[in-house]
Chain A
Amino acid sequence: MANRTADNENESSGESIKGISEKADSPETVNNDILTDIHCEDKKRFRTHCLSNDGLVSTSLRAQAWPILTGCEGNERSLDSVPIQFMAPHRDESQVKKDVDRSYIHYPENMAEETELELKAQLKRLIVRMLREVPDLNYYQGYHDVAAVVTIIFGKDEQTAFNFLYYMTLRYLRDHMLQDIDPTLKQLDLIPEILWYADRKFYNAIKPTLKEPIFALSSIISLFAHDLNRFDEVCLLWDAIIAEKDPSMPLYLYVSMMVRYRAQILQQIREGDGSAEFIHVILSRLINSNINSLSRQAAQSEISAVIKSALKLKRKICPIRKLRRFRSISKYSCLKDRKVSTSTLGLQVKEEAINIAKARKRKQTVARYQRVAKNIQSIPLLLKISIGVGLLTVILALAMDPQSKKTAKTFGNSLLNGWIR
């Protein structure tokens, strides 16, 4: 599997950002260039095209180039799998159906009704097959936007569409497909820190909202497919994401957009009530307000600029390993373990199950302590004192035993709180 190569290539940047060229060639020359590279399967040159202003230019070129770039045809899974009707249904299929029914809203443009129905049928087959083949995955709203892009690119070639989505899922999206949303939130938590490096003043201006960077949720989990209204712009971003082979790229792209539209965002904030919720809404409409409203040409040049500054951020200003919060991310996260493999996913699923169980236990313990503290409030003073002395003895005894120290401390604090009240 071609997992480990990209990082070394990317992070050894010299003076300029490697791989970015300001091409001014005619479209025909570029097309021919890309076709030659497809023929030679020259991945290095592909990356240069991907990161250029026009990216890989067209849907048909992307359909040929993306599988080569990702190496998705050599996925670990066997190619001749069981037809989906013979596989056990996945728990999330009813949600998939609901979302497939409301897909392809902004693109492809001017689509005939027949084509739309055919695409929706393909989309449903694609997602259902993925979930049935990898039942550890949990479907989320926004995954259907990613899969919709894949169906448009690969059309009737459903096998390649599947192989490609399989790669994208395990390489880029698996953190978002665990049992709960915490691993996604951990990824989103990197955004404020990247922004801090990118633009400290702006960071300070919107600090309260950055505590919960949920405004970036739909863009990150859908790889921008949910928020952008034009297919070409989604593809340009995907060219860059695929060329980088790095699941942290969407985070950097998002921060670059924030910085690029800082003036507009601050202006909108000044016009509103300034609450964290209001800023959240402004930020969550970042793409809609600043890119979807532009002409096609203007939007594409904006996207190119965003990609360039994202690469600068990622490779030079604040590489992911420099981020403090990166340390608290699971070693199985796709940001750390780049293997495209269901066994890594399996380990991640197990770890997540343990985390969820721990969190539940913590919650129960806190609730129990709160109840105890509340009861104490209603006990007469004399009784309080005598129980207090008794409990203090127990806590002291527990504190002597180093293993129970933590429990004793929490218990003691909780009691004390109830007491003071």
Chain B
Amino acid sequence: MSSRRKTILKVIILGDSGVGKTSLMQQFINGKFSQQYKATIGADFLPKELNIDDKQVTMQIWDTAGQERFQSLGVAFYRGSDCCVLVFDVTNTKSFENLQSWRDEFLIQANIKDPDNFPFVVIGNKIDVEENKRMVSSKKAQALCASLGNIPYFETSAKEAVNVEQAFDVVARCALQQEESLEYSDDYTDAVNIHVDGDNSSCGC
């Protein structure tokens, strides 16, 4: 990690099939939405250059397949992630219920050494739908995020570009913080176990 010259932040988007992972990524990176995205098979990434507090970084956003049978392929893509975005569809209860298993599976497959402090961000997408179609309330989602260790939660509409920019800004900050803490601890891996106060906090977002 410390050999990386340019700061590259690797972000993985996970969640059930059809919750809008590709749409969110496209909206954030290209600022557009289409009803017509093909199902994602395997994984793909798009890069975006960002400026976080005067620091130039490249965010690599990995879009993944939602169907469960492709989940075991994750090992190949999750390694070296700096932040994981968990997406559900506010009109689909099942996709919300599956968030925790996506999170657990990610932690196992990515082989995260310090799971308690790895940054996640939860996104409830499709808030543009009519109120009566909404199945997961903000309150419920916030409660889950709180129980999973105060994970930042955003409600977005990839279709109408609501809150997408804001959500990914936090994703980027969390990822940067994680990346810097990793780089820092990497320098000391061979030394005695050093614990630096405040270094391992989850991104204070």
The residues of A with any CB-CB pair to B shorter than 8 Å are: 95, 98-99, 102, 105, 138, 140-142, 144, 180-181, 212, 214-215, 217-218, 221-222, 226, 273, 277, 280-281, 284-285
Contact = CB atoms under 8 A, between A and B. Distances in A.
Contacts of B39: 98-99, 102, 141-142, 144
B69 A215 contact: no
B17 A218 contact: no
Contacts of B76: 212, 214, 280
Nearest to B19: A98
Given A212-B76, A214-B76, A222-B41, A141 B36 contact: no
11 contacts: A95-B17, A95-B67, A141-B39, A144-B39, A181-B72, A212-B76, A214-B42, A214-B43, A215-B42, A221-B41, A277-B77
A180 B67 CA distance: 12
A141 B18 contact: no
Interface string B19-43: 0000000000000000011111111
B77 A140 contact: no
Given A181-B70, A217-B41, 18 more contacts: A95-B17, A98-B18, A99-B39, A102-B38, A105-B36, A140-B67, A140-B69, A141-B39, A141-B40, A141-B70, A144-B39, A180-B72, A181-B69, A214-B42, A214-B43, A214-B76, A221-B41, A281-B44
B23 to A, nearest CB: 11
B65 interface: yes
A143 B171 CA distance: 34
Interface of B: 8, 17-18, 36-45, 65, 67, 69-70, 72-73, 76-77
A277 B64 CA distance: 13
A138 B40 CA distance: 18
Contacts of A141: 17, 39-41, 65, 67, 70
- The 7 A-B residue pairs whose C-beta atoms are closest, nearest first, are A218-B41, A98-B18, A217-B42, A141-B39, A212-B76, A141-B67, A105-B36
Nearest to A104: B36
A260 to B, nearest CB: 21
A138 B68 CA distance: 11
Contacts of B70: 141, 181
A22 to B, nearest CB: 35
A99 B70 CA distance: 15
Contacts of A95: 17, 67
Counting chain A CB atoms within 10 Å of each CB, the highest count among B69, B72, B73 belongs to: B69
Nearest to B37: A102
A105 B67 CA distance: 19
Contacts of B77: 277
Nearest to A215: B42
A149 to B, nearest CB: 14
Nearest to A178: B69
Contacts of B17: 95, 98-99, 141
Nearest to B22: A102
Nearest to A98: B18
Nearest to A221: B41
Contacts, number: 58
A218 B41 CA distance: 6
Contacts of A277: 45, 77
A341 to B, nearest CB: 24
Given A214-B42, A218-B41, A281-B45, A181 B73 contact: yes
B159 to A, nearest CB: 14
A105 B72 contact: no
Contacts of B41: 141-142, 217-218, 221-222, 226
A140 B40 CA distance: 11
Nearest to A106: B38
Given A212-B76, A217-B42, A221-B41, A138 B69 contact: yes
A142 B41 CA distance: 7
Contacts of A142: 39, 41
Nearest to A277: B77
A117 to B, nearest CB: 14
Contacts of B38: 102, 105, 226
A352 to B, nearest CB: 13
A357 to B, nearest CB: 16
Given A98-B18, A214-B73, A277-B77, A284 B37 contact: no
A284 B64 CA distance: 13
A215 B17 CA distance: 20
Nearest to A218: B41
B65 A102 contact: no
Nearest to A219: B41
Contact of A102 (B8, B36, B72, B73): B36
B193 to A, nearest CB: 14
B190 to A, nearest CB: 15
A226 B41 CA distance: 9
A136 B8 CA distance: 44
Given A105-B36, A141-B17, A212-B76, A180 B69 contact: yes
A396 B77 CA distance: 42
B42 to A, nearest CB: 5
B140 to A, nearest CB: 22
B18 to A, nearest CB: 4
Nearest to B60: A277
Contacts of B40: 141
Contacts of B73: 181, 214, 217
A232 to B, nearest CB: 19
Counting chain A CB atoms within 10 Å of each CB, the highest count among B36, B38, B65 belongs to: B38
Contacts of A215: 42
A273 B77 CA distance: 16
